[in-house]
Amino acid sequence: MKKFISLLILLTFGILIFGQLPSVNIKDMEGNSLNFSKISNNGKPMIISFWATWCKPCKAELNTIAEEYEDWVNETGVKLIAVSIDDARSSSRVEPYVNAQGWEYLVLMDPNSDLRRAMGVNNVPHTFLVNGEGKIVWDHNNYSPGDEEELYEKLIGL
Amino acid sequence: MKKIVFFLFTGISIYSFSQNDVTPTVVSGNIQTIGQYYQEDTLINAALPDQLLGFNGFANVNVQRGNFRTGIRYETYLNTLEGYPTSFNGTGFGYRYLNWSDEDLELTIGNFYDQLGSGMILRAYEERQLGIDNALDGIRLKYNPYKGIFIKGMIGKQRYRFEDGLVNGNGIVRAIDGEININEMFDSLSNSNFKATLGGSFVSKFNEDNNTPLFNLPKNVGATSIRANLRYNKWRFNAEYVHKINDPYPDNQNELFNYIYKNGEGLLFNLGYSKKGFAIDLSAKHMDNMLWRSTNVSVGPTDLLIGFLPALTKQHTYNLAATLYPYATNPRGEISYQADLLYKIPKKTFLGGKYGTSIALNFATSYTPKREFINDLGTARQSYSTNLFSMSDSILYQDFNIEIKRKINKKWKFNVNYFNFIFEDRAVLVAQHHELIHAQIAVLDLTYNINRKHSLRWEFQGLWTKTTTELMTTSQGESVYRKEDQGDWAFAQLEYTFSPHWYVAVLDQYNYGNSEPSKRIHYGLISAGYINGSHRFSLQYGKQRAGVFCVGGVCRAVPASNGLTFSFTSSF
C-alpha cells in the first residue's frame, strides 16, 4: 500500500517522506495552544499514544507504561505524549483521570479528531515512536499485555 | 469530482515547482475496510440481504509540502453494511480539501471539520463507526492577530448523503468564533496560578426547502454561545451558555413537539478538583429545544445536524452495559447532573496492595424539563415555556456505577464493576418492550499473564432486570410474572493474546432469563486477529444480537446478524 501510494505521489511531487509529524494546532489540558509539528524533546525520542477515557486497552497500556516510565526516562530521556480523542461528552473526564492515575505524561486534547485524522489514526490505541530527529520509526495499532516490551526494545535500540 | 481532484493535485504540483527542491513532501494516510458475509438466521431475526455481502471501505491520503496541505478520502459502500445508514451508497470521493497555513493564518477550501466550544451550536465531525459525517464543504479562515487571540470564520454546505460521491444538503451554514486566552495575551499572567480562556460564537443557517401549506418557516436562523474556562491551582471550572432562535422542525414521534415554535436554550457547567491519586468532578446541564439542522424537512436522525448535544453520562465499554440500555441525549431537552469520584488507594498499603487500587464512582441522572404548553393542539402555532434547571418528575435515565481495579501481582490483575440503571425506553424506543427499565449489571474482568508475551483474559458479566407485576402466559402454557424488557442475560468471554501480533477470543451471550422460554437464545461468536505495526487484520464469525451502538452519546440501532466479518485497517 505504502509503495503504491509513494509511486503515485512521487510521479507528481518529487522527494517524498513518510512519518513526519503534521502541522496541526492542538491544546494541552490547561488550554494552551501549540503546533504539533513543533513539538520536540531536545533531540531525545518521544512516544505519541492516542487514547480515550472510554478505551480500556488504551488505559491499560498507559498505566502499564506509567509503572516503568521513570526508568524509561532515566535510560533514554524519552517523553510520552498522550493524545486524548475524547469528544465534548467525555473530554471533561480526561484531567480527573490523568491526575487520579498520577500520569507524568504531556496530555493533549484532540476533541474533534483533527490530529487523529492528520496522523492517519483509524482507531485507538495507536502508539507511535518518534526518534530524536522527529521521524516516526515505529507504530502499533493495538494493545495486548507485553506490547510495552516491544516498544521498550525499539526505544532502547534508537 | 474528477476535476476537483485534478485541481488539488495540479495546485500542489505548481506550488511544488515554485519551492526550493529541498522542501520535502510529507505523506500520511490510512485505510479501513470491513466486509460482512451474511447468513439467514430466523431464530435471532437476522435478515439475509439480496447481495449477501456488505462492504464499507475508506482510504485517506494527506500530502503536505511547506505551508500547503491537501487531502482526499475515497469511500466505498458496495453494498452498505447492514445497520449502517442506507443514504451511503456506491463508490467515489467523499472528502477533499486544500489548506494553506503559516504562523498566524490558516485557510481551508473544500471539506473541513470543526467544533466551536463544546460543539452545542456547531460541530462538523465524523464518527465513521456510526455513519455520521456532516463535514462542511466551503471556506474557512483562522486568524491569530495577537498572541492569545484566536478568530475563525467559516461558510459552507453540509455533507448529507453519499451517492458514488459526496452529496451536500441545500442549507448553508455560516459561523464566526473568537477566543481569548488571558494568560497567553498578557506576559505578566503567563505564570499565574489563575488561568482563563473566554470565547463566543455566532452561527446562522439559511435554507428555503421548508415551507409547508400550514407554516411559513424562517429562512435564516441564528444561534449564539458564550463560554469560559477558568482554572486556579487544582480547581477547574467550565461554563457555556447557548441560545437558538425558534426554528420549527417536524417531529413525527410526538405531536406536541411537531413544528414547535420556541427559542432553544442550553447551559452546561463543569466543576472539578484533581490531584495525584484523587479527583472529583461535578457537571450540570439544562438543554431545551437545541437540536438544529441545516434543513427543516424531516430527515434521518443524524442527518444534517449542525450542533452536537453531549450526554452527561459515562460511556461504558463492557458489552451488556454498553449495548442494551445506553443513554443518548434527548434531543427535545433534558436536565442532567453527573458526579464522578476517582481515588487511587496508595501502593504498599493494606487496602491498596502492592501496586495500589483504583476506585471510580459515577452517578448520572437526566429528567425531562418542566414544560408549560402554551397552546392546545387546535391552533397551528405551538409553544411552551421552561425555566433554567426546572425539571419535571419524568426521569429519562439514571446510572450509578462503581469500578474497582487492582493489580494483585505480576501475573494477576482484576477489574470488578457494578452498574445500576433506570432507563426510560418510552422516550427512546430502542428496547423490545417500551417501558421504564430497571437493570443491574455486574462484571468481573480477570487478566492472567502467562509470561511476558502471552496472556489470558476472562470476562464474566450478568444483567438482571426487574420483575413486573404483569402476569403473562409463556409458549409452554406457564403463567409467570414478566421481567422487564428481555429479562436476564449472562455473558462470558475468553481471550488469548500473544504479544505483539496475535489474539483469539470466544464469547457467548445468553438471554437465559427471558420470560419467554423460546427466546432464551445463545449468541456465540469467535474472533481472531493479527496485528503488525499499523496493519491490523481481523476475522469474526457468529451471531450478533440486535443492540444499540453508541459513540459520544450518539447511538445507532444495530440489527441482529449472523455471518462472517473481515476487517483490515492500516496507516502510513
Q: Encode pLDDT of A64-108 as tens digits.
A: 999 999 999 999 999 999 999 998 889 999 999 999 999 999 999
Task: Please give the residue of chain A at the shortest CA–CA distance from B550.
Answer: A54
Asked if B230 contacts B236 with a C-beta cutoff of 8 angstroms, the reply is yes
Touching check for B403 and chain A: CB below 8 Å?
no
- Please name the residue of chain A whose CA is at the shortest distance from the CA of residue B13: A13
Q: Which residues of A touch B236 (CB under 8 A)?
A: 95
In chain A, the residue whose alpha carbon lies closest to the alpha carbon of B552 is A89
Q: Looking up cell 512519518, which residue turns up?
A: A19
Going from the C-alpha of B8 to that of each of B3, B164, B352, B535, the distances in angstroms are 9, 19, 58, 28
A38-50 mean pLDDT? 94
B61 and A9 in contact by Cβ < 8 A? Answer: yes
pLDDT of residue A9: 65
Residues of chain B with pLDDT under 50: 19
Beta strand ranges found along B466-500 (DSSP E): 467-473, 479-483, 488-498
What does the pLDDT read at residue B258? 87
Q: Which three cell numbers stand for residue B394?
A: 419524568
Task: Indicate the DSSP class of residue A145.
Answer: T
ipTM of the complex: 0.90
Provide the pairing of β-strand A16-18 with B25-38.
parallel
- The DSSP result for B225-281, as a single string, is EEEEEEEETTEEEEEEEEEE-------SS-GGGTTB---EEEEEEEEEEEETTEEEE
Q: Do A146 and B499 touch (CB under 8 A)?
A: yes
Distance from CA of A77 to the nearest CA of B (A): 23
Residue type, B422: I
| CA distance, residue A3 to nearest chain B CA (Å) | 10
> Which residues is B55 bridged to in the sheet?
B35
Do B5 and B93 form a contact (C-beta atoms < 8 A)?
yes
Interface of B with A in 493-552 (CB under 8 A): 497-500, 503, 529, 531, 533-536, 552
Q: A92 and B16 in contact by Cβ < 8 A?
A: no
Asked if B62 lies within 8 A of A118 by C-beta distance, the reply is yes
Single out the residue of B308, B307, B309, B268 nearest to residue B286, CA to CA: B268
Taking the Cβ of residue A43 and every Cβ of chain B, the question of whether any pair is shorter than 8 Å is answered with: no
Q: Which chain A positions have a beta carbon within 8 Å of B25's beta carbon? A: 9, 13-17
Asked whether B158 and B137 are in contact (CB, 8 A), the reply is yes
Q: Which of A12, A30, A139 sits opposite B534 (nearest CB)?
A: A139
Instruction: Say whether A114 and B60 touch across the interface (CB within 8 A).
Output: no
Residues on chain B touching A5 (C-beta within 8 angstroms)? 27, 29, 61, 572
Contact A96 B317 (CB under 8 A): no
Instruction: Say whether residue A4 is in contact with chain B using an 8 A CB cutoff.
Output: no
**Which residue, among A125, A144, A56, has the nearest Cα to B415 in the 3D structure?**
A56
Residue partners of B426: CB distance under 8 A and separation at least 6: B434, B435, B436
A-contacting residues of B 252-281, CB under 8 Å? 270, 272, 274-281
Chain B closest CA to A15's CA: distance in Å? 6
- Chain-chain contact of B12 with A95 (C-beta, under 8 angstroms): no
Chain B hits for A1, Cβ within 8 Å: 31, 570, 572
Of B204, B169, B197, B171, the C-alpha closest to B183 is B197
Q: What number of residues does chain A have? A: 158
Partner B contacted by A104 (CB < 8 A)? no
Q: Which one-letter DSSP state was computed for residue A22?
A: P
Whether residues A140 and B277 touch (CB distance < 8 A) is answered with no
pLDDT at B543: 92
Q: Which pLDDT does position B45 carry in this prediction?
A: 84
pLDDT bin (cut points 50, 70, 90) of residue A6 is low
Q: Does B186 touch chain A (CB under 8 A)?
A: no
Helix axes A56-76, A147-156, angle to 10 degrees: 30
Residue of A nearest to B238 (CA): A92
CB B402 within 8 A of CB B383: no
Q: B106 by DSSP, 3-state: which?
A: strand
Q: Could B276 and A5 be called an inter-chain contact, meaning their C-beta atoms sit closer than 8 Å?
A: no
Q: Which residue has the cell 475468553?
A: B494
**What would the mean pLDDT of A22-44 be, rounded to a whole number?**
90
| C-beta atoms of B569 and A9 within 8 A | no
Residue in B195, B272, B454 nearest the CB of A96: B272
**pLDDT (0 to 100) of residue B545:** 87
B500 prior amide bond cis, ω within 30: yes
Using the beta-carbon criterion (under 8 Å), do A13 and B314 form an inter-chain contact?
no
State whether residue A33 sits within 8 Å of chain B by CB.
Answer: yes
Look at residue B273 in the predicted model and tell me its pLDDT.
97
